[in-house]
C-alpha cells in the first residue's frame, strides 16, 4: 500500500511539473505566449477662452508613418465630436492627427451642488452649474475634447525599447534618458526594468484667440502586452505630452514629453 502511495505521489509531482510552467519562473518568451498586444491613446484639450478658425496637428503613435490606432481614432472623433473635422495627415514631421473647427467655446462648472429630488421625502442629488465664462460660481474648467482610441495588433510590442521598434508618439526627437527619475521609480515602486526618457515633439496650432487665452493639450499613449500563464501578466511602456498654448497661434510649437519603458513582468530567457 505504501508503494502504491509513493507511485501516486511521484505521478502527481510529474503532472504538476508538466502543467505548471511558472513553478520555477515564467520562462515563456515567444509570441504565441502573448494573448493580447495593444496600443492605446488619449487626447484631452481644454480651452479657457473662446477661440476661432481652429486648426491643430497633434502627435499620434506611429512607426514609419503608420499608426494602428488611426481607424479607431477617426471613428471615435466622428462619433464623439461630429462638429470637428478629423483626419490623418502627413506633415514635414510625419503622420499626425489633424483637427479643425470654426470655434471652440470654453466650459466651466461649479462645485458639486446638493439639490432635493422632487417628491422624494428629503432625498438629495448632485448637480452642477455650467457656464461658458469663468466666475467664482463656475471656477472649474472642463475639457472640450476627451478623445480615446486603441488597437489590438498581432506582433509583440518591444516595451523595453519601443523607440524605433514600436509605435510611439511622433514626431519624437532629442530623446535623453533620465536616470535620476528612473532610479526614484525603481526605489519607490520596485520596478527593476524601468527606464525613463525625456523627449521633444511638435504641435501645430492656428487659431484666433484673446492674448490671455490658454489652451491646454494633454496626450497619453501606451503599448501593452498581456498574456495568461497561471494568471494574467503584462508589461508595457507609456508616454505623455502636456503643453499650454497662450494667446493666438499661427504655426509650430516645440513641446516636451516623457517616456517610461519596461514596466511590468518580463519572461525569463
Strand partners of residue 227: 233
Q: Which of 16-25, 129-138, 155-164, 203-212 has the lowest mean pLDDT?
A: 16-25
E strands, the chain, in order = 36-47, 51-58, 60-62, 85-91, 94-104, 107-109, 113-116, 124-127, 130-131, 140-142, 145-153, 168-170, 173-177, 195-208, 214-228, 232-246, 249-264
Is pLDDT of 104 > 90? yes
Q: Residue 87 has what pLDDT?
A: 98
pLDDT (0 to 100) of residue 186: 67
pLDDT-above-70 percentage for the chain: 85
Sign, CA torsion 132/140/241/211: positive
Whether the CB-CB separation of 73 and 170 falls below 8 Å is answered with no
Reply yes or no on whether the pLDDT at 24 is more than 80.
no
User: pLDDT digit string (tens) for 173-202?
Assistant: 999 998 887 777 766 666 778 899 999 999
Residue 9, pLDDT above cutoff 50: no
What pLDDT does 116 receive?
85
Euclidean distance between CA atoms 217 and 242, whole angstroms: 6
pLDDT confidence of residue 13: 37
Spell out the domain ranges in the chain: 38-105+144-264, 107-142
Closest residue by Cα to residue 97 from 65, 50, 119? 65
Contact yes or no for 148/38 (Cβ under 8 A)? no
Measured distance CA(144)–CA(43) in Å, rounded: 10
- Residue 121 confidence (pLDDT): 76
Question: In the predicted model, is pLDDT for residue 255 greater than 50?
Answer: yes
Angle at 227 between CA 223 and CA 232, to 5 degrees: 105
Instruction: Please choose, from the candidates 214, 222, 240, the residue with its C-alpha nearest in 3D space to the C-alpha of residue 141.
Output: 214
**Torsion angle of C-alpha atoms 144, 146, 147, 148, degrees rounded to 10:** 180
pLDDT of residue 117: 83
For the segment 59-88, the average pLDDT, to the nearest whole number, is: 97
Task: Select from 221, 224, 242, 244 the least CA-distant residue to 232.
Answer: 224
- Distance between CA atoms of residues 89 and 247, nearest Å: 25
**pLDDT value of position 268:** 63
Q: What is the pLDDT of residue 22?
A: 40
Max Cα–Cα distance, the chain, nearest Å: 91
Task: Provide the whole-model pTM.
Answer: 0.82
pLDDT of residue 76 exceeding 80, the answer is yes
Stretch 155-181: mean pLDDT: 95
Amino acid at each position: 500500500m505504501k508503494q502504491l502511495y509513493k507511485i501516486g505521489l511521484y505521478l502527481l509531482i510529474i503532472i504538476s511539473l508538466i502543467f505548471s510552467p511558472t513553478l520555477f519562473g515564467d520562462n515563456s518568451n515567444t509570441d504565441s505566449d502573448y494573448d493580447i498586444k495593444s496600443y492605446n491613446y488619449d487626447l484631452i484639450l481644454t480651452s479657457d477662452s473662446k477661440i476661432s478658425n481652429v486648426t491643430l496637428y497633434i502627435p499620434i503613435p506611429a512607426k514609419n508613418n503608420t499608426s494602428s490606432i488611426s481607424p479607431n481614432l477617426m471613428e471615435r472623433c466622428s462619433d464623439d465630436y461630429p462638429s470637428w473635422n478629423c483626419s490623418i495627415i502627413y506633415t514635414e514631421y510625419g503622420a499626425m492627427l489633424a483637427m479643425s473647427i470654426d470655434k471652440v467655446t470654453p466650459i466651466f462648472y461649479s462645485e458639486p451642488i446638493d439639490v432635493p429630488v422632487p417628491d422624494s421625502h428629503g432625498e438629495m442629488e448632485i448637480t452642477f452649474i455650467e457656464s461658458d465664462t469663468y466666475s467664482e460660481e463656475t471656477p472649474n474648467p472642463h475639457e472640450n475634447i476627451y478623445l480615446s482610441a486603441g488597437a489590438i495588433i498581432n506582433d509583440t510590442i518591444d516595451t523595453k525599447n519601443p523607440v524605433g521598434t514600436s509605435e510611439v508618439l511622433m514626431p519624437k526627437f532629442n530623446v535623453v534618458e533620465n536616470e535620476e527619475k528612473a532610479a526614484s521609480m525603481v526605489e519607490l515602486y520596485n520596478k527593476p526594468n524601468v527606464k525613463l526618457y525625456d523627449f521633444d515633439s511638435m504641435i501645430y496650432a492656428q487659431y484666433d484667440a484673446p492674448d490671455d487665452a490658454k489652451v491646454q493639450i494633454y496626450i497619453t499613449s501606451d503599448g501593452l502586452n498581456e498574456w495568461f500563464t497561471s494568471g494574467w501578466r503584462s508589461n508595457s511602456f507609456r508616454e505623455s505630452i502636456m503643453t499650454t498654448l497662450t494667446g493666438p497661434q499661427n504655426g509650430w510649437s516645440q513641446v516636451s514629453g516623457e517616456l517610461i519603458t519596461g514596466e511590468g513582468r518580463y519572461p525569463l530567457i
